[in-house]
Structure 1
Amino acid sequence: MNLLQRWAFALRLLLREWRSGELGVLLLALVVAVGAMTSVSFFADRIERGLSQQSARLLAADLVVNANAPLPAPWQDEARRLGLSLASSVSFPSMSFAGDEAALSNLKAVSAAYPLRGEVSLRLMNGREQNGRFAPAQGEAWVDARLLSRLKLKLGDRLGVGRLQLTIAGEILREPDGALDLYNFVPRLVFNQADLAASGLIQEGSRARYRLMVAGDGRQVEAFRRWAKSHLTPGMRLENIEEARPEVKTALERARRFLGIATMLTVALAAAAVAMAVRRYLARHWQSVAVMRALGMGSGEVWQVFALLFAMLALACGVIGAGLGYGLQWLLISVASGLGVETLPQPAWWLGLLGPLSSLVLLLGLALPPILALRQVSPLRVMRSETGAPRIGALAPVLALSALLLLAAWQVGDATLGLWLLGALGSFFVAVALVSMALLALVRRLARRSGKLGWRYGVANLARRPWLALIQLVALSVGLMALLLLTVVRGDLINSWQNSIPPDAPNKFAINIQEDQRAALGDSFVQSGRPAPELSPMVRARLLAINGKAVNPAKLADERARRLAEREFNLSWRDSLPAGNQIVAGKWWEGARVTPQFSVEAGLADTLGIRLGDSLSFDIAGTPYQAKVTSLRKVAWDNFRANFFVLAPPNWFAGERASYITSFRLPPESEGFVSQLLARFPNLTVIDIGVIITEVRAVVERLSRAVEVMFLLSLAAGVLVLWATFAATRHERLADMALMRALGASRRQLRVVLLSELAFIGALSGFLAGAGAMLTGAVIAKELLALPFTPNLWLLPGGVLLGMLVVCGAGWPLVGRVANAPPLAVLRAEL
């Protein structure tokens, strides 16, 4: 039989099996699995891209090119060629004047199209607020409250910048990209870019930042990003929302991990159902294989025919499942219409290939070992069925794990996350198998002493097929654990995530505090009834060398690494580990006097290639400092406290002149306290980061709601997969119940037996699932999401109750069909 003949035979066999209904359970399990996976992928892609686009209002664009000189014309030409919307701004410090008053201001000249994303919020001269996308008119300016206060101005007055006289048309309440620069601490003034030349403020050598903002379709933006990256020169950098603020980046990263966990659990559920369906299908076809062998087919030809059959089935189910997934994600989008995302982009086209490919990987990964075992089927099985089923061997779990790992890495996009979750699931499989064997043996002994028919025969059904019972318990425990993770534990994790930005998070930073002002500043807080804030010293330091090798930013391949190497660090020193910092490698110094050393933030170390024990050289005001890295820290950037990339012991920098920085919380009704501080300490700079906190909280809230919907989808997929798992054992139960009917059992007694069996499986699976969910939730919170987690003790009794309800509910249709099936017809079909 050549290859073409094998294809034709496999196709005929597939069509025959389809008409006979033999592939119904397997097809349903596979379509549900693929539909769940693809719908998660489609929906996650659309939500993530949509929320990233909406978060771009913090940039006032989808992508920003930041440069220290005007961008050449080809940059705008390329953006227009790609169909992108353009806006630009020029930012620089300068003095603003009003009569005899003058104040240093941060000026921003914006083009007419500003902002491309987000909205400007102004207070107008009539006292009303105006929100929208608009720029200042020529001859007008917008200023913030600090500039109005310092220059003693009101709306409608005029002020001077350079050679310009501008009318103050509005007070800035909010500007999209105004919250991004944490040290954008001087009063702000925004005016029309058409007035910039007349101001005479930009001259040769002026220190200004030029920003080209673009917005458009995701593919267009990505195309421009690729083009821009290949044309960047020194002094240029690309900005997106994740690079602009580490707090927002943390929120987005945690959302991706939540979405990845939901996807991974769905994949695990799908694999359990498909494995059960494949096992049952092939177990019913050993006799057919023996007939094929007896008719002259070789062992290699037999397994190749079934491999082709499963491959065609996988592709067909993949296409159907992808279509189902695409339809489901539209339903989810309508449910999630309140996410605050105005228009969601279409999912990436290549995700459509995920259905057939994931179906092929999943089915062949789980079915290939039993298919290969078909070569062991002897032609003698035609006459001697007691020869038993062929042995599958150790290849089955290896291939199954490989298939799951591949799908996890593919969908989650994070190999570490996939390995962690698969490791947890693998450990759970082993633990459930061992505990289940012990409990089955114990309950079997107890059942023999019971006089109740339902309990005794229900457990006896499991005892007669211990390996089938074991597979069911493992599959159902994993499924129920996923359901618990998707309900109880999910809520605990999301609450921890939302509470990671506490209501009392600092919303003010004070910098430029001098050494002789520290005590007086603390007294000002105490006198006003507030606790004295913690002050952290800070100096500007430039990284010169790593392990004696000079740092050359131009030779660094990573864009972020180049920026970090070009800039000066805010270096600080202290004797205790800051709040929100965690040592992940090495050891923190202790004692009053310690040897010179550095503690480096882990993300910075990874970006610059710094390892524990490396020697770093810094220049501080012309003085070189060199020491080894003795610890790496994970920093909670979203706690909005004074955090630093590099820390050193305090005694080492005793001779350096430093300024101090602190953070504190001030309620809106106490804003006057800032004016009191500035009146007493004129050199002090107070930065309001309340807008940043508001934006990050809004992003977290929207992402949390998106994750809620994602987990609901996985929950629904889990229930469907559990039903498919029960359907895969339908034939065994039909044979058992038919035999009992033939021996005189009533339909009511059969229902009691089946429900007792299902209740026992549900209770045991639920207990194991509750324990597994508790442990898995703790691992996910600590290792993957860096969140605090308190175990929910209700998971154990809740798991037992949920297991009994879900298993009995999912198995109820099966109970009816099995109890009502004519025993003679069933026994004839089995014989």
Structure 2
Amino acid sequence: MTGAVRTRLTLAFRLALRELRGGLGGFYIFLACIALGTGAIAAVNSVSRSITDAISTQGQSLLASDARFVLRNREATPEELAYLQGLGKLSRSTSLRSMARLPDGSDQALVEVKAVDGAYPLYGAFEAEPNQPLSTLLAAKDGSFGAVVAPLLLERLNLKVGGELLLGNTKLRITGTIQSEPDAVSEGFGFAPRLFTSRDALSASGLIATGSLVEQAYRLRMDDPAIGLRNIGDRANAAFPQAGWSIRTSARAAPELADNVTRFSQFLTLVGLAALIVGGVGVANAVRAFLDSKRTTIATFKCLGAPAFVVVLIYLIQIAVIALAGIVIGLGLGAIAPIIASQFMAEFLPISTAPRLYPGALTLAALFGLLTTLAFAIPPLGHAREVPATALFREQGFEARRLPGWPYLLAAGLLMMALAALAIVTAYDRFIAIVFVVSIAGAFVVLRAVAALLSWLARRSPRVRSPALRLAIGNIHRPGALTSSVVLSLGLGLALLVTLTLIDGNMRRELMGRMSEQAPNFFFVDIQGPELEGFRKIVLAEDPKGKLVEAPMLRGRIVAFNGEDVTKMKVPAAGQWVLRGDRGITYAETLPENAALTEGQWWDKDYSGEPLVSFSDEEGKALGLKLGDKVTVNVLGRNVTAKIASFRKVQWQSLSINFVMIFSPNTFKGAPHAWLATLTDASASSEQEAAILRKVSNAYPTITSVRVKDALDVVNTLVGQLAAAIRAAASVALIASVLVLAGALAAGNRARTHDAVILKTLGATRATLIRAFSYEYLILGAATAVFALIAGSASAWYIVSRIMHLPSAFLPDVAISTLIIALVLTVGIGLIGTWRILGQKAAPVLREL
């Protein structure tokens, strides 16, 4: 670096700091936009990291073991059990869903039963009220076994500690309530309250029969986990290749939860980035207004011989300093977010999230904030470079301007590309990130086009008789108009809000509307073959108009496609759920009535050749399968291979009996299995449903009855909690939009002051000017609302119909609320900002003209 360049840089830095002594006037909205967007991204990623780190570091407690082997619908063979016992200390548990009944048969409830042995838990602590050892609480006494239940079950059955329940054929005595279950997170979400009892109690209940949907878990505590867990899955599968067990270690105790947290945080990060980009518009407006107010200073610098790049550098340094201050404020908000969030998460996640900083999350947020600031600030700086020295001697703003020089456009473009690349590279799902980036870029282009179209229409509109309306129309297309600023400020935030509101509305409409109307009233699970006829008689006697549908059901896990182990295959995200754990499978002679073939043929009624399977079309194509491919499924510890004979369309949203795979009947000939049934009757009353539930539960205690409405209520509650988080994130973008709108209007106040004074001098009244400004803001707000509705509706349609595969509908209440929000914000903020202008004294302004 030469001495002359170093001198100029030093001079620019000194002058920049000297100007900053005058305060941050005009930059408070700039500061707020950067702090808000950066803080949102930092907070979301810090909270996400705190949860995933806690899951990773507390793996043994969350799994209640070093490793867990799970077998479904069968117990380990003596050879398998001996192998597991040789790996370390063993604890066994059995889990299933069943009906818990009052002793007099008057009421019942679905429960998630977990029967444990005396060694449980191997890690972590099980906490109950009263605080006694679990073995004491579950001990047999006076002909009944102990049970510890979730408080919700006591509420549902109006029971207290000390009361009794029937589980299958055995009596349970409620000895306490569950306060904390160490491995609840790793076992996933349950639709029913938990009931803990002993394995002896479950054995006496008679609930475990051939074909029952039961999960047998074998937990291990090893002397040296670092050595014992090394390649444990490969070693166990090599020793017992057809065991079909699912193996999880403490290193990934709750992978589904960790993945869901990461996926959801990435989505919220993109929403926060949208807020930051909306704030970028505010940055551009604030820089433009600031440089406009400094035009005489800039001209003075030039008259004194300052090179153009030194002038640009002076203001770039000021903008960078202010941006860094905003970023630091945002990072401070992000740093304390995990501490605040831990207070709320403790109720839902039994993990301890110790307060700490997450440098990676904070660095990412800082990069987003810095790139956004520079990308939006550089074009106005390019305009400042062109300010002529003659501006020192006459009134001149930046209203009439060409594009800045190509170096500034190139720099801004490269920064935008870096911002997009950072968003894509750091995303969990890069396809979604690419769609987001393209959508944001398209939204900016369209918003510019909307503003240009609005100005063009105003310029060519017929002359109206109302002076106030004529003045409003003129303000929309005149040089220096607020049209582009207002449309850009509100458009993106409102479009995001419309998108998320429509997604939420369509999901709730589907869950509580069409889906709940089409769904069956009940699912009946674990119906044993000898019970089937008696079960039919009870159900049809209670509801003769009901439609009863039955299907044989087994549980199986896909282990290979065309002989290749699925765990070693790279599977697209859309099909991963099919390979995650066991799937319900069935066999059928004929095509189910709720399915339609899309490819291939169904087998003959008396088919007895090679095992065949019909695969769900959407899931099969997502997995890259085609007709003739071989699918290997592990059922009851035995690998069965079948050829894909057809693909069929499955209507999952109907909630009727549907399976990913339906096999030809000869595939499982002689295999033990239970039956699944649904009962559908839209006209059934609550009393009638309660009577059916009571009669079935009392007559066949081992049959599990699931009332679909109850399950939908649980799902709707979860959707509501997710929607609340999404709406909160969208609100950040809307707040940023409001800040930008306020800044844009404030930046135009100087020109509005001149207009108002001249018009008042020419005889215009304050009422006329208020009407004119109101009409202008109404037109701009309405145009922005129309864009937001179109763009938001299109985005919501794509997400709901193409990604979620649900019916999408336009919701009129969303349209009305969006229009009201847009009009209230534009008119309200606009009039608040211009009220002071209307009272401005004429003489001081006229002297400056």
With normalisation by structure 2, the TM-score equals 0.68
Aligned equivalent of 1:219: none
* Partner SS state of residue 756, structure 1: helix
- Whether 1:420 and 2:435 are equivalent positions in the alignment is yes
Aligned equivalent of 1:67: 68
1:229-378 pair list within 5 angstroms: 234-235=235-236, 237-238=247-248, 259=268, 262-282=271-291, 292=301, 295-298=304-307, 301-323=310-332, 346=355, 349-350=358-359, 351-371=361-381
User: Given that residues 553 and 676 in structure 2 are in contact (C-alpha distance below 8 angstroms), is that contact kept between their aligned partners in structure 1?
Assistant: no
User: Given that residues 479 and 722 in structure 1 are in contact (C-alpha distance below 8 angstroms), is that contact kept between their aligned partners in structure 2?
Assistant: no
Aligned equivalent of 1:42: 43
1:522-561 pair list within 5 angstroms: 522-529=536-543, 531-538=546-553, 545-547=560-562, 549-551=563-565
Aligned equivalent of 2:615: 599
Superposed displacement of residue 67, structure 1: 3.3
Q: 1:773 aligns with which of 774, 792, 797?
A: 792
CA deviation profile, 1:358-407 (whole Å, cap 9, x unmatched) = 32111112223444566666778778979963523665885575466357
For 1:210, give the aligned amino acid.
Answer: Y
Q: 1:817 aligns with which of 836, 839, 846?
A: 836
User: Given that residues 251 and 699 in structure 1 are in contact (C-alpha distance below 8 angstroms), is that contact kept between their aligned partners in structure 2?
Assistant: no
Query: How many pairs were matched up?
Result: 745
CA deviation profile, 1:267-311 (whole Å, cap 9, x unmatched) = 343233223323444556667556655655555555455444433
1:601-750 pair list within 5 angstroms: 610-611=624-625, 615-618=629-632, 625-627=641-643, 644-647=659-662, 650=664, 659=673, 661-664=675-678, 670-675=692-697, 678=700, 686=704, 699-700=718-719, 702-741=721-760, 743=762, 745-750=764-769
Distance of aligned partners of 1:180 and 1:692 in 2 relative to their CA distance in 1, 3 Å threshold: farther
Superposed displacement of residue 333, structure 1: 9.0
Answer with 779-788 or 314-323: which moved more: 779-788
Distance of aligned partners of 1:234 and 1:775 in 2 relative to their CA distance in 1, 3 Å threshold: same
- Whether 1:109 and 2:125 are equivalent positions in the alignment is no
* Partner SS state of residue 535, structure 1: strand
Aligned mates of 1:169, 1:783 — CA distance in 2:
50
For 1:811, give the aligned amino acid.
Answer: G
Aligned mates of 2:799, 2:657 — CA distance in 1:
28
Superposed displacement of residue 33, structure 1: 3.5
* Partner SS state of residue 62, structure 2: coil
User: Given that residues 525 and 705 in structure 2 are in contact (C-alpha distance below 8 angstroms), is that contact kept between their aligned partners in structure 1?
Assistant: yes
Distance of aligned partners of 1:790 and 1:258 in 2 relative to their CA distance in 1, 3 Å threshold: farther
Aligned equivalent of 1:162: none
Answer with 564-573 or 727-736: which moved more: 564-573
Aligned mates of 1:560, 1:479 — CA distance in 2:
29
1:376-525 pair list within 5 angstroms: 389-392=401-404, 395=410, 398=413, 402=417, 405=420, 408-409=423-424, 413-446=428-461, 449-465=463-479, 469-484=483-498, 489=502, 492=505, 495-496=508-509, 499=512, 508-511=523-526, 513-514=528-529, 522-525=536-539
Distance of aligned partners of 1:189 and 1:386 in 2 relative to their CA distance in 1, 3 Å threshold: closer
Distance of aligned partners of 1:766 and 1:563 in 2 relative to their CA distance in 1, 3 Å threshold: closer
Superposed displacement of residue 752, structure 1: 3.7
User: Given that residues 42 and 325 in structure 1 are in contact (C-alpha distance below 8 angstroms), is that contact kept between their aligned partners in structure 2?
Assistant: yes
Distance of aligned partners of 1:561 and 1:754 in 2 relative to their CA distance in 1, 3 Å threshold: closer
Q: 2:218 aligns with which of 196, 199, 210?
A: 210
Aligned mates of 1:815, 1:618 — CA distance in 2:
72
For 1:455, give the aligned amino acid.
Answer: L
Superposed displacement of residue 741, structure 1: 4.7
User: Given that residues 41 and 269 in structure 2 are in contact (C-alpha distance below 8 angstroms), is that contact kept between their aligned partners in structure 1?
Assistant: no
Aligned mates of 1:632, 1:249 — CA distance in 2:
33
CA deviation profile, 1:724-779 (whole Å, cap 9, x unmatched) = 23223333323433443555545554444333322332232233333333333333
Aligned mates of 2:136, 2:362 — CA distance in 1:
47
CA deviation profile, 1:401-442 (whole Å, cap 9, x unmatched) = 546635755887543333334444444444444444344333
Superposed displacement of residue 806, structure 1: 1.1
Aligned mates of 1:414, 1:796 — CA distance in 2:
30
With normalisation by structure 1, the TM-score equals 0.69
Distance of aligned partners of 1:601 and 1:809 in 2 relative to their CA distance in 1, 3 Å threshold: same
CA RMSD between the two structures: 6.0
For 1:38, give the aligned amino acid.
Answer: G
1:101-250 pair list within 5 angstroms: 108-111=116-119, 116=124, 135-137=134-136, 140-141=139-140, 142=145, 153-154=170-171, 189-190=197-198, 209-211=217-219, 234-235=235-236, 237-238=247-248
For 1:420, give the aligned amino acid.
Answer: V
Distance of aligned partners of 1:192 and 1:256 in 2 relative to their CA distance in 1, 3 Å threshold: farther
User: Given that residues 28 and 724 in structure 1 are in contact (C-alpha distance below 8 angstroms), is that contact kept between their aligned partners in structure 2?
Assistant: yes
Aligned equivalent of 2:14: 12
Superposed displacement of residue 791, structure 1: 1.3
Superposed displacement of residue 38, structure 1: 1.1
Aligned mates of 1:337, 1:138 — CA distance in 2:
28
CA deviation profile, 1:669-690 (whole Å, cap 9, x unmatched) = 65443456648xxxx7647699
Identity %: 18
Aligned equivalent of 2:153: none
For 2:219, give the aligned amino acid.
Answer: R
User: Given that residues 7 and 308 in structure 1 are in contact (C-alpha distance below 8 angstroms), is that contact kept between their aligned partners in structure 2?
Assistant: no
Distance of aligned partners of 1:742 and 1:11 in 2 relative to their CA distance in 1, 3 Å threshold: farther
Aligned mates of 2:233, 2:602 — CA distance in 1:
47
Aligned mates of 1:535, 1:498 — CA distance in 2:
24
CA deviation profile, 1:592-645 (whole Å, cap 9, x unmatched) = 769966526877987xx7555783243789897454597598996x98765544
Distance of aligned partners of 1:562 and 1:274 in 2 relative to their CA distance in 1, 3 Å threshold: closer
Distance of aligned partners of 1:764 and 1:507 in 2 relative to their CA distance in 1, 3 Å threshold: same
Distance of aligned partners of 1:329 and 1:526 in 2 relative to their CA distance in 1, 3 Å threshold: same
Superposed displacement of residue 47, structure 1: 8.3
User: Given that residues 113 and 135 in structure 1 are in contact (C-alpha distance below 8 angstroms), is that contact kept between their aligned partners in structure 2?
Assistant: no
Q: 2:821 aligns with which of 777, 793, 802?
A: 802
User: Given that residues 107 and 189 in structure 1 are in contact (C-alpha distance below 8 angstroms), is that contact kept between their aligned partners in structure 2?
Assistant: yes
* Partner SS state of residue 219, structure 2: strand
For 1:729, give the aligned amino acid.
Answer: G
Distance of aligned partners of 1:590 and 1:556 in 2 relative to their CA distance in 1, 3 Å threshold: closer
CA deviation profile, 1:534-563 (whole Å, cap 9, x unmatched) = 33344566757534x543858999999999
* Partner SS state of residue 327, structure 2: helix
Aligned equivalent of 2:204: none
* Partner SS state of residue 510, structure 1: strand
* Partner SS state of residue 24, structure 1: coil
Q: Structure with the greater relative contact order (CA < 8 A, sep ≥ 6): 1 or 2?
A: 2
* Partner SS state of residue 534, structure 1: strand
Superposed displacement of residue 456, structure 1: 1.7
User: Given that residues 292 and 302 in structure 1 are in contact (C-alpha distance below 8 angstroms), is that contact kept between their aligned partners in structure 2?
Assistant: yes
Aligned mates of 1:508, 1:237 — CA distance in 2:
29
Aligned equivalent of 1:163: none
For 1:440, give the aligned amino acid.
Answer: S
For 2:117, give the aligned amino acid.
Answer: A
Aligned mates of 2:459, 2:10 — CA distance in 1:
49
Aligned mates of 2:523, 2:54 — CA distance in 1:
28
* Partner SS state of residue 632, structure 2: strand
